[in-house]
């Protein structure tokens, strides 16, 4: 029998033994060249990663009827890199995850200056979705062409 997890009175069914079906569409809505449909998540962990990425990239005030939703990484783009700015961004990420994604167990948030570019920050978020789930890390960084990259690392 499939195990269910209860968090804040909500039921989260186990993903084990689930070979077919999808939970939701992954955001942003991108389709791959081999698929005719949008990318979809099969597990709670995949969907949590998608939700977390969108929370980080969403600007506060962007979501209708939810003016406080979103970290608004965009707002930090042209700010001076200071210790207080790094602390503010780290606190904003932690507060938003705890408020809007309570099913994510936050392990660590690191915001550091980029070694290769003095005008860039690296963000590393370590979390897990359930007690039995594996540790996952999301890394937000810029490359040599200054493109924003998001890398999912399994810990």
- Whole-number pLDDT of residue 109: 92
Distance CA 109, CA 89 (A): 10
- Residue 118's pLDDT band (cuts 50, 70, 90): confident
Residue 120 sits at the vertex; the CA angle it makes with 118 and 122, to the nearest 5 degrees, is 120
CA 133 and chain centroid, separation: 16
* pLDDT computed for residue 64 by the predictor: 87
Query: What are the pLDDT digits (tens) for 73-95?
Result: 888 877 888 899 899 999 999 99
Running DSSP on this structure, what letter comes out for residue 133?
S
Q: What is residue 36's DSSP assignment?
A: S
Name the architecture of domain 4-154.
Roll (3.10)
Q: What SS3 class is residue 130?
A: coil
Domain positions in the chain: 4-154
* Averaged pLDDT for residues 51-69: 88
Q: Which whole number is the average pLDDT over 116-137? A: 77
> Considering only 52-56, 84-88, 128-132, which range has the smallest mean pLDDT?
128-132
User: Per-residue confidence at 97, pLDDT binned at 50, 70, 90?
Assistant: very high
pLDDT of 1 over the 50 cut: no
% pLDDT > 90, the chain: 15
pLDDT-derived band at 153, boundaries 50, 70, 90:
confident
User: Who contacts 19 (Cβ-Cβ below 8 Å, separation ≥6)?
Assistant: none
pLDDT per residue over 11-46, tens digit each? 555 555 555 666 666 666 665 556 557 777 767 777
The pLDDT value recorded for residue 95 is 95
3-state secondary structure of 75: helix
């Amino acid at each position: 029998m499939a195990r269910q997890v209860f968090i804040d009175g909500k039921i989260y069914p186990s993903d084990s033994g689930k070979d077919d079906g999808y939970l939701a569409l992954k955001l942003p809505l991108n389709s791959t060249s081999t698929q005719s449909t949008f990318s979809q998540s099969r597990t709670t962990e995949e969907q949590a990663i998608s939700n977390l990425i969108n929370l980080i990239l969403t600007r506060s005030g962007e979501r209708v009827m939810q003016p406080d939703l979103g970290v608004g990484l965009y707002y930090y783009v042209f700010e001076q890199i200071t210790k207080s700015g790094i602390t503010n961004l780290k606190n904003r990420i932690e507060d938003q995850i705890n408020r809007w994604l309570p099913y994510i167990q936050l392990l660590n948030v690191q915001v550091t200056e980029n070694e290769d570019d003095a005008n860039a920050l690296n963000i590393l978020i370590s979390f897990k979705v359930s007690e039995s789930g594996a540790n996952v890390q999301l890394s937000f960084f810029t490359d040599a062409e200054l493109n924003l990259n998001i890398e999912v690392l399994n810990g």
